[in-house]
Amino acid sequence: MKISIGVITKDFNSLEPIDEFLENASKHNHKIYSVIIVYSHGCVFQLIESLREKVKVFLVKINDAPEIKEQLIKMGLPTENIEILINCSALKKYGKVPYGLNRNYALIKALLSGSEVLVFIDTDVYPRVLVKEDDEVKKKEIDFIGRHLEYLRKEEVIITTSDYSGYYIIPPMSFAGMKELFVGLQKEDAYEFLRNSDEHNCLNLDNNKKRKIFETDKILGGNVAIKLSALKELPPFFSTVYNVNGEHVLSRGEDTLLGIKLKKSDKKCIDIDTKIFHNTFGNYPEVPDIKKDKSIKDRFYYTCLGWIGRNPFLNWLKGEDVEEVKNRQKKNIIIGSKAMASYLKDERFLILPEALEISYHNLERVISEYKNTMRAWNDFIKKSEKRGG
């Protein structure tokens, strides 16, 4: 199998963690066909040269990918569809690239360059897991590619994925009104986890020897492998950008669409229960402190806005009564946002109810963008099958 590693980033300025994943693959006798790097802003080209000494590298810049454009024209894709797939107007206007478009660039490049499997890794994950041994948390190396391939080789499996070990994206917190906040953000499960954060500091560990493999529709973009021959049965990634109080914000959940579609398919997505290490806040093993660390507070603020930006579309996609869900969320987020702002002494959180209104107001636009993306994507997949890959 021709295995490629896909990395998306704003600025490519470090070989970490790509070099560790390549080393890990080599140690376990897996040949990596290529590394696909999709970036939107800056790139240290000397790093690319040194990477090319080890592996084939495809460097792709958002809005500046003439090779991809040429191949799509040769395939016979109409200009309108090419624009939808590779033109990012949000980058030109606001310097932002939706997560979905970023990932689709990597998928398109992987398909056009002859890859058979694309493994996405994020820039803050590593081919190790955190485990508890003798009452001590340790990092343990795993056969990362091997774990994915073991299940991806099965005919009925088209995606393998898993979660992360390391600190949860939501840091420890506790205040009256917290439940309402997370109900309003459509993250009720997170609330249950946070309730016990005194015990675990929101640190997730790998199951190590007690692994349980299971079917899932929850796909995590930084620990996922996709069989490219299955793209005819899969939708693309999809997410958007929306304007809150003059600031353009990225919505989250670009992989949600894949999960929902998979639910309706007879093909399988398997959670390999291998939680690779995620250095979430960049300073592991320090326990995250949202009250003291401004960068953690900032990150959580944009994460909240990202979920709010995703939720209306997600609810529409799932066939929910959008208005009914919105009213329930609104009621809760009004209480939760005030409580959060007071807890953190940060008035920015007071804007969450307004962001919710804006997000629902944008739903028609997002649905239209989604339908256009699906149309262009399906056209691309049909034509790529005709040309034999």
Question: Would you list the domain boundaries of the chain?
Answer: 3-169+202-287+366-386
pLDDT at 389: 44
Closest CA to 255 of 88, 104, 123, 126: 104
Closest CA to 110 of 235, 2, 270, 267: 2
Q: What is the share, in percent, of the chain residues with pLDDT greater than 90?
A: 91
Determine the Cα–Cα distance for residues 372 and 78; give it in Å rounded to an integer. 13
Kindly tell me if the per-residue pLDDT of 144 is higher than 70.
yes
The pLDDT of 29-56, averaged and rounded, is 98
pLDDT at 388: 63
In the CATH scheme, what architecture does the domain 3-169+202-287+366-386 have? Alpha-Beta Complex (3.90)
The pLDDT of 70-85, averaged and rounded, is 98
pLDDT at 70: 98
Q: What is the pTM of this model?
A: 0.97
The pLDDT of 243-252, averaged and rounded, is 96
Q: Cα 318–251–192 angle (5° rounding)?
A: 65
Containing 155, the helix (H) or strand (E) segment is: none
- Condensed to tens digits (0 to 9), the pLDDT of residues 277-302 reads 999 999 999 999 999 999 999 999 99
pLDDT at 266: 82
Cβ-Cβ contacts under 8 Å for 294 (sequence gap 6 or more): none
pLDDT at 100: 96
> 10 Å Cβ neighbour count for 110?
27
Q: Cα 237–253–7 angle (5° rounding)?
A: 60
Q: In which band, very low, low, confident or very high, does the pLDDT at 265 lie, cut at 50, 70 and 90?
A: confident
Is 339 in a helix, a strand, or coil? helix
pLDDT at 331: 98
Q: In which band, very low, low, confident or very high, does the pLDDT at 305 lie, cut at 50, 70 and 90?
A: very high
Pull the structure tokens for residue 257: 């669409």
Kindly tell me if the per-residue pLDDT of 384 is higher than 80.
yes
Tell which phi-psi region holds residue 125, choosing left (phi > 0), alpha (psi between -120 and 50) or beta.
beta
Of 2-16, 75-89, 151-165, 253-267, where does mean pLDDT reach its minimum? 253-267
Q: Which residues pair with 164 in a beta bridge?
A: 276
